[in-house]
Amino acid sequence: MSRLLSNYGMLAVLLVLAAMFSVLTVDRQAPSGAASGRQLAARLAETLQPDDGVLIVVRPSDEECRFAEALRDALEAGGYRVVDVVSGDPADARRALVRVTDTQQPLAAIACSPTTADWSVFEDLGRRYPGLGDVRLVRPESTRWPNFLKRENLINVANQIAVIAILAIGMTMVIITGGIDLSVGSLIALSAVVTTALVRDVAGANQATALGMVLCSVGGIAACAAVGAFSGVMVTAFRIPPFIVTLAMMLVASGLAYLLSQGQSIHEVPDGFISLGRGQLAGIPNAVLLMVVLYAVAHVVMSQTIIGRYIYAVGGNVEAARLSGVPVKRVVLFVYLVGGELAGLGGVITASQLKAGSPTYGQMYELYVIAAVVVGGTSLSGGEGRILGTLIGALIIAVIQNGMNLIGVESYTQKVILGAVILAAVLLDTLKRRRG
């Protein structure tokens, strides 16, 4: 038990955070699918007289339209009259009510979805529409369930952190060798701008083909790989501290992104461009799938392969590693190259999700990425760390941000809390290490 805790203690933190946000975000849930429509029809039937008129009002979303259809079908099958189905905004609802009063159709009930029932257009019906008579407003019964635990939110959390988590794989490797890479945030911007600029200028803008867009994305990733390799060369061949090299590359990459894009966001991309970032496979967004696959690969590489062992060896004791025949320079070059490539991939995903490339992307991401790695239990002094720990660290950050948005903590407070939690997590880790 205590060995498990000390190995994956952060998993416990993640679970406690999740449990806490589940409790704090319990909220009225609006059931509005077809089943809910049939259920409301059954409830209405208990009080309606035959031939009574019902007006159905829903928002124009797929789910609410299914609700409205099921409700209408069930009511009509029961012999009631559906006066009108409004699928629109409150103004449409008002116009429908005015039509009903003008034509003096008898109306017994307005059937709403849980969301439209709250519209203030339905308050004081008697005063607003004197000709309407005695009309009841009915809505489906709501259930209580945490917003945090809704399936769509859990996917949402994973999707939101995918880019940072993917970058954190490379950062974990870099930090295990005892280095640091501050340029990854700017590389996101560079990759996004290079990719979208290539799509616009080379692949034919809005007419670009899928293959063309893939090649452009490869171009964006290659640009970042080149920057990463350059950092690696500076660190290995010239022995410049990684902090300085990557700080410089952070400025260079950001500047290049602004230069290439002229400071504008590049949005001349085809609609198909969003399929990488927002496409789904079996309900799971592509970005999340990509993240899972990359973590699986990285876990195997770090724990089962020679290069993985070399990376730990270099970070543990560089001199000992060299004497044991580890190709130290090539290993270090490799981790910066991988870090650059993954940052490039992150930039492509970001551009795809936002359907545009802009030099403002990725600001401060290096700090979130480093935070994820450190919270995940990787030591900044090198030699220790686990890839899956980093995934947990990234998820902790994602859960805190998402949870605070859900319970409505304002922006200023969010920063303070996020900082406090990162510090608490690392403090915990340090205490554990000192003891062990």
Residue labelled with tokens 């699928």: 87
As a whole number of angstroms, the distance between CA 250 and CA 362 comes to 11
* 185 touches 364 (CB < 8 A): yes
Of 260, 298, 375, 406, the one binding other proteins by CB under 8 A: 406
Find the binding residues for other proteins in span 94-153 (CB under 8 A). 94-95, 115, 118-121, 147, 150, 152-153
In this structure, the number of other CB atoms found within 10 A of the CB of residue 249 comes to 25
Residue 214 CB, shortest distance to other proteins, in Å, is 20
Decide if residue 264 touches other proteins (CB under 8 A): yes
Q: Compare residues 122 and 295 and give the one whose CB is closer to other proteins.
A: 122
First to last CA, the chain: 15
Using the contact rule CB under 8 A, the part of the chain among 39-47, 218-226, 303-311, 412-420 near other proteins is 412-420
Find the binding residues for other proteins in span 339-378 (CB under 8 A). 350, 353-356, 358, 360-364
Return the bridge partners of 54, or none: 82, 109
3-state secondary structure of 330: helix
Using the contact rule CB under 8 A, the part of the chain among 12-20, 46-54, 221-229, 232-240 near other proteins is 12-20
Residues in contact with other proteins, counted by CB under 8 A, come to a total of 77
How large is the angle between the packed helices 328-354 and 210-237, nearest 10 degrees? 150
Q: Compare residues 81 and 267 and give the one whose CB is closer to other proteins.
A: 267
Radius of gyration of the chain from its Cα atoms, rounded to whole angstroms:
28
DSSP letter, residue 403: H
As a whole number of angstroms, the distance between CA 307 and CA 311 comes to 6
Using the contact rule CB under 8 A, the part of the chain among 72-80, 104-112, 335-343, 411-419 near other proteins is 411-419
Of 37, 52, 55, 59, the one binding other proteins by CB under 8 A: 59
* 181 touches 339 (CB < 8 A): yes
Residue 49 CB, shortest distance to other proteins, in Å, is 28
Q: Compare residues 26 and 42 and give the one whose CB is closer to other proteins.
A: 26
As a whole number of angstroms, the distance between CA 204 and CA 192 comes to 17
Of 40, 108, 163, 175, the one binding other proteins by CB under 8 A: 163
In this structure, the number of other CB atoms found within 10 A of the CB of residue 7 comes to 13
Q: Compare residues 20 and 301 and give the one whose CB is closer to other proteins.
A: 20
Q: Compare residues 20 and 226 and give the one whose CB is closer to other proteins.
A: 20
Of 8, 11, 22, 24, the one binding other proteins by CB under 8 A: 24
